[in-house]
Amino acid sequence: MPSLRILCVTKFYHPRIGGVETTVKELCENFVRRGHECTVVAMDKELAGREIINGVELIRFPVDSPLLGGLNRHVWNHMKEQLLPGRYDVIHIHSYHILLSAQTAYLCHTRAIPYVFSAHYHGKGHTPIRDLLFRAYHILGKKILEWSEAITSVSDFEKSMLLRDFHGLESKVTVIPSGMKMFDDVPVGKNSDSILYVGRLLAYKGVDHVLRGIEWLKKRRRIVNFRIVGSGPHEQELRKLAEQLGIVGQVAWLGEIGEDQLGREYRAAGALVLLSAAEAYGLVVAEALSCGTPAIVAKKEALVEFLSEPGCVGIDDPSDPVKVGETISGVLDGTLIERIGPFSHKIASWQAIADEYLRFYEKVIRSRRGSA
């Protein structure tokens, strides 16, 4: 395949932690290693500016008001200058849930510039007000999807939600799972009294359910330590909750950390816990399992697909502290999980997934030329 010029548009980028952030970073770095040119346009309050990291050109603009759902006048002005026919071979927009994506899609459409779209679709807003706005957004959202050349989903569940909410897209949607980071196999002692969360600190992620489960265990004289990797707008509420529950000393807030440390955290944890109410995939579950660490997930949405992987167990009602506490205890004690792995094709390396995306791009480009 000849060298491609690829533009990715996304809300945030590494070192921000999250499934979309990791996906864009890993894909772009793998593309660059294969000789392609990658530019990423994103937002970041602290890291605004232009730089090259691991061969990827990053252009990050200040964040506008969060009340505008990702609408960004700085990105708009930049894109008006840069989005020109023929400038890029592939324009890849990530995330249905932010107006930044809608801005870019609209400019592409009005200038007859093709783009592909990765929805990372949750199917709902995560508060009553956001859900109301989300449903109103469907009118524009449907156009964004229809204007695209092709759409990717990370799971069969996400694809089913898209086709449920937007009819007529069947021929456009391709399922390509997320990859996983192949962390160095550094010897790290397992801590059978420690659990781990990795991701953005948002209300729907269910970290509060984990804290209440830890309190329930404490009342039964089982002390479990909880290490939290990531940051987000819900952090202060979670800190207050930990204080109210009397478990402050059992919770470590690690914030954003480097990949080497993240690999050590995965390997050292007795279990990863992700009780999210909405996931299109659940990348951190795949990463934990690949590091030999069992995972506890909510039996919700795409997380259910991991339950067939040896080493993953589910909780029917993650809001029940008793069920959460009992499941954590059972996994840490080794009574709920017999083995971890071998895994299905759903858990693949980023190298393999990047190759799959390049084949996807090539197919799109061939189709474009054939219809020209």
pLDDT digits (tens, 9 = 90+) for 57-105: 999 999 887 665 678 899 999 999 999 999 999 999 999 988 899 999 9
Contacts of 365-369 with CB under 8 Å at 24 or more apart are: 365/89, 365/90, 367/149, 368/114, 368/149
pLDDT digits (tens, 9 = 90+) for 240-257: 999 999 999 999 999 999
Instruction: Give the pLDDT band of residue 372 (cuts 50, 70, 90).
Output: low
* Mean per-residue pLDDT over the chain, rounded: 92
Question: Residue ranges per domain, the chain?
Answer: 5-177+349-371, 191-346
Amino acid at 238: L
Longest Cα–Cα distance in the chain: 69
CATH of 5-177+349-371, one of 3.40.50.2000, 3.20.20.70, 3.30.420.10, 3.40.50.150: 3.40.50.2000
Domains 5-177+349-371 and 191-346 share a fold: yes
Q: How many CA atoms lie within 13 A of 260 on its CB side?
A: 1
pLDDT digits (tens, 9 = 90+) for 104-149: 999 999 999 999 999 999 877 666 676 677 777 888 899 999 999 9
pTM, two decimal places: 0.78
Instruction: For residue 291, give the 3-state DSSP assignment.
Output: coil
Q: What number does CATH give the domain 191-346?
A: 3.40.50.2000
